[in-house]
Amino acid sequence: MKKFKSIFIGPDGLRHGWRFLIFAAAIIFVVELVEQPAIAFLAAKLHVDRSALSAPSIIVSDGFDLVILLVVTGVFALCERRRLDSYGLPINEAFGGLFWNGVVAALVVVGFVGVGMLVTSGMRIHGIALHGTELITSPLLWLVAMLFVGIMEEYLFRGYALQSLWRGAGFWPAALITTALFAGDHLEKPHENAIDIGMIFALGVALCISVRVTGSLWWAVGWHAAFDYGQLFIIGTRNGGRVPDGRLFNVTFPGPAWINGGELGTEASYFMIPAVVGTFIYVVCFLPRRSSALKT
């Protein structure tokens, strides 16, 4: 009986692998139960087209998902007698130096890929796509939308999930498992291919390493939000075959898919390969280090 009990209970109570599984099951259950009807209701009330790749659509969907994530994580934090922000998003560091460091690093990547596509004729800019008040409202709406995406996805895959597995199995198994789930979540995107998933997986691992190095998720949040802002709003790249509404430039992508990513956009461009390698080097060699590990 004691040996059987040890499968579930360790020195810290319920073993962390089981905590991860219960957390994942709770997220899936709540999402399946309330997400679709709730988002459909909100979109109808706010007159938002859910089928569009637009800032309002993302704000509604990812904003609601963020609320679910905070509630579920809050319950687990209460059970573990910890603060909600103790899983990598310390509130006193919100939008501080690490966040802006990540923003700059991501914009460098976006700039490199964008210039590469322009030089090789994989992308052509035909002028500004916004007019009048859109020049103010669209950048702000996309900024809010990408912040929601950055916080929600990073806290979902590299918050409680990463920490619980990290404590139970070590950093690398935790990083690889959560990143596989992160990449797998993108498989439902139309026209998905190996290069896009490969880049998403590699970037996911780099973001996990950033958490280990800095002891915080804020660099990863800044990088994630700025990268998506750069590719969807500034470049206006396609994503799963959809063109972003309210993008900055009137742009076309006449070149081959290996240059501009085709229907998948910049993430599937071969220019992302050196960009990802550079991101790895920066995270491992130059990112500010913390003396204490996040998981403790």
pLDDT in tens, 168-210: 999 999 999 999 999 999 988 888 999 999 999 999 999 999 9
Give which of 140, 163, 127, 124 is closest to 17, Cα–Cα. 163
Residue 252 within a domain: yes
What's the CA gap between 247 and 57, in Å, rounded? 14
Average pLDDT rounded to a whole number, residues 7-23: 85
Beta strands 9-10 and 13-14: pairing type? antiparallel
Q: Torsions phi, psi of 125, nearest 5?
A: -100, 130
CA distance 15 to 296: 15
The answer as to whether 95 is a domain residue is yes
pLDDT given for residue 9 in this prediction: 79
Residue 295 lies in a domain: no
In this predicted model, what pLDDT tens digit does every residue of 96-150 receive, in sequence order? Answer: 999 999 999 999 999 999 999 999 999 999 999 999 999 999 999 999 999 999 9
Residue 113 lies in a domain: yes
Helix (H/G/I), strand (E/B), else coil: 160: helix
Secondary structure E strands in the chain: 9-10, 13-14, 124-128, 249-252
Contacts of 61 (CB under 8 A, 6+ apart): 39, 50
Is 147 inside a domain boundary? yes
Residue 294 located in a structural domain: no
Query: Helix, strand, coil % (nearest 5) of the chain?
Result: 70, 5, 25
**Does position 40 have pLDDT exceeding 60, yes or no?**
yes
Mean residue pLDDT of the chain comes to 94
- Domain hosting 66: range is 2-285
Q: For 274-284, how does the pLDDT look when each residue is reduced to its tens digit (9 = 90+)?
A: 999 999 999 99
Decide if 230 is inside a domain: yes
Closest C-alpha among 106, 236, 90, 246 to residue 155: 90
What pLDDT, on the 0 to 100 scale, is given for residue 4? 59
Q: How far is CA 169 from CA 20, 73, 207, in A?
A: 11, 20, 19
* Strands 249-252 and 124-128, bridge-based pairing: antiparallel
Quote the number of domains for the chain: 1
What integer pLDDT is reported at residue 2 of this predicted model? 62
Q: Is the pLDDT of residue 262 over 70?
A: yes
Per DSSP, what are the bridge partners of residue 124? Answer: 252
Using one digit for the tens of pLDDT, what is the confidence trace for 69-90?
Answer: 999 999 999 999 999 999 999 9
292 is a domain residue:
no
The C-alpha atoms of residue 227 and residue 103 are separated, in whole angstroms, by 8
